[in-house]
Structures are given as C-alpha cells and as structure tokens.
Structure 1
Amino acid sequence: MNETMRKFGYPATLVAEFDHWAVLLRPAQPTLGSLILAAKSDATALSDLPAEAHADMHQASGAIERALAAFTGYAKINYLMLMMVDPHVHSHVIPRYEGTRTFGGLEFTDAGWPKLPDLGSAVALDDAQIAAIVSALKPHFA
C-alpha cells in the first residue's frame, strides 16, 4: 500500500479491494458515500499503471456504481483525478444528488448540485462515523 492510501485512512477506511485497486471511504464527505478509488501501486501517473490495472478499473468502477446506487440513490457520479497533494494514482468518487441524505444522525447535502462538487463543504467524520459508514457500505460490494 502506498502513502496516499494511508493518508486516506487505510486500512480503517477500506470498503472493497480488487487486484490493482482499493476502494476507501473518503474521511471528509462532500456527499454521503464519497470514496477514494486508489491504485495499490506506487505509480504517480495514470499511464504508468499496467494494462491489467486499467482492466481491473472497469470491475472496480462497476462495483462502486452499483454499491453507491443502492446506498445513496445518486443521480450522477463524479470521478475526480486530482493528484495535486497526494501523488499516487487515485480518484475521488463523489456521488451527486439534489437535496440531502442522512446517515447516523448526520446530514450530507450536495452543496455544489447541479454544478461542480463543493469539496470544501465536506462533513469531516470521526473514527466511529467512518467505521459505521464502512460497515454499511461493505455489504453493497459483496
């Protein structure tokens, strides 16, 4: 596992795992169910990943979309490959929806809807909230 994965809370935030990818809960949630799709390698450019990782991304993204559809009922989904601060290949996966979703007594409003996601309006989760959402999401990946 690479440092970018650890920064996003691995292993506590691990929701699902594929041969070349890990799906992590994003500790700061701009919308409910926001994830990180992180390459397990030390690659810092998408083109540096082996062909097998690109094929495995297809499986991972399909699983993410099915799981988040069941968990949040999103209207759209955004994959943001920013990699400005955290250098290893990863995408921020932001389920988009109009209005608010609730989980564990917290409200998650898509502040940017219907335009760009507002990452600055994210709900910061504590360890117990992370564990609860991870536990709720995992069965959707089975």
Structure 2
Amino acid sequence: MSDNALKVFQEKFRVHELSIAETPGWILSVRPQQLTLGSMVLSVQTEAKSFAELTACQCQEMGQLLAHAEQLVKERLDAVRINVLCLMMQDPLLHFHVFPRYAEPLQFAGQVWQDEDWPGPPLIRPVVTDQAVLHELQGIFK
C-alpha cells in the first residue's frame, strides 16, 4: 500500500477531522455513516494490511482503544454492547468498524435512534448522517 492509499483511506473516513483518541499506532474516530448511534472506526496509522504486520505495541494500543470505544458508548450513550467488525473488503488497510448496540430506541441530537438490527448482527448498509450529529458525537466522546 502506498502512502497515497493511506491518505485516501484517512480522507474517506475523515479520521483526522472526526478523531476521538489517538496513539502512535492507531486512531479512533467517529464513523461518517452512523449505522448505529456512536459508530466509530479504529484504523491503523501505518500501511499494515494484516495482523501479522503489527508490532506488539500496536496490538496493545489496539486493545486499549477498543476498550476505550466500548467504555465511551456504554457510559455516554447507554449502549448495551459493541460489535467490532474487521471487514477490509473495499479498503485493505487494517481497520475496524465499531457499532454500539441498543435494545431500546434513544434520543440524541433531536432525533430518535433505533438499532434496526437488534438483537441480530448489524447489516452494513449506506446511511446518511448529518454533519452536526457527527461533530456532536465527537464532542461527547472527547
């Protein structure tokens, strides 16, 4: 993967604009498409395309940021749990989609949010999310 591919990935998911937390190896950001309220992306900050390419330090940071993501949505949005998916079908850069899960609808930013797929696995589909919602989520997560 070239530096350009890393840049393209980061721009696609707006990782720096929507960042929540960062380590030298990883960045946790609000997901531009909110499949469930509080959806995030955890992406590696190198060109790694597989777990075998990660250092021990990067593996530790990955675990720390996943735990941080879970803690954020449970404490600030009352999520029941998170689902973490490492799909890498269109974007080969090592990254995870973090989807908070909710048994009940909740209100946020003047909207009612329903986890349409609860209690089953999340169905990945395109959704449009207002920019104000993304920045409000970023604000409560920082």
TM-score for both structures, normalised by structure 1: 0.88
Q: Deviations over 1:66-86 (max 9, x none)?
A: 111112211121110000111
Equivalence for 2:120: 115
Which region of structure 1 is more displaced relative to structure 2, 46-55 or 79-88? Answer: 46-55
More strand by share: 1
**Could you say what the CA RMSD is over the residues aligned between the two structures, in angstroms?**
1.6
Alignment: residue pair count: 137
What TM-score do you get using the length of structure 2 for normalisation?
A: 0.88
Aligned identity (percent) is 31
2:34 pairs with 1:14: no
The answer to whether the 8 A contact 1:15-1:134 is kept is: yes
Distance 1:124 1:102 in 2: 17
1:19-78 deviation line (CA, Å, top 9, x unaligned):
211001011111110100111111111221122100111211221111111122111211
Q: Which residue of 1 aligns with 2:43?
A: 38
- C-alpha displacement of 1:5: 2.3
Of 100-109 and 82-91, the range deviating more from structure 2: 100-109
**Partners in 2 of 1:12 and 1:108 — Cα distance?**
23
Q: Which residue of 1 aligns with 2:140?
A: 136
Q: How far apart, in 2, do the equivalents of 1:51 and 1:113 lie?
A: 35
Which residue of structure 2 aligns with residue 48 of structure 1?
53
1:83-94 equivalence runs, <5 A: 83-94=88-99
User: Which 5+ residue runs of structure 1 have no aligned equivalent?
Assistant: none
SS at match of 2:112: strand
Q: What are structure 2's unaligned runs of at least 5 residues? A: none
Structure with bigger RCO (C-alpha 8 Å, 6+ apart): 1
Who is 1:127 aligned against? 131
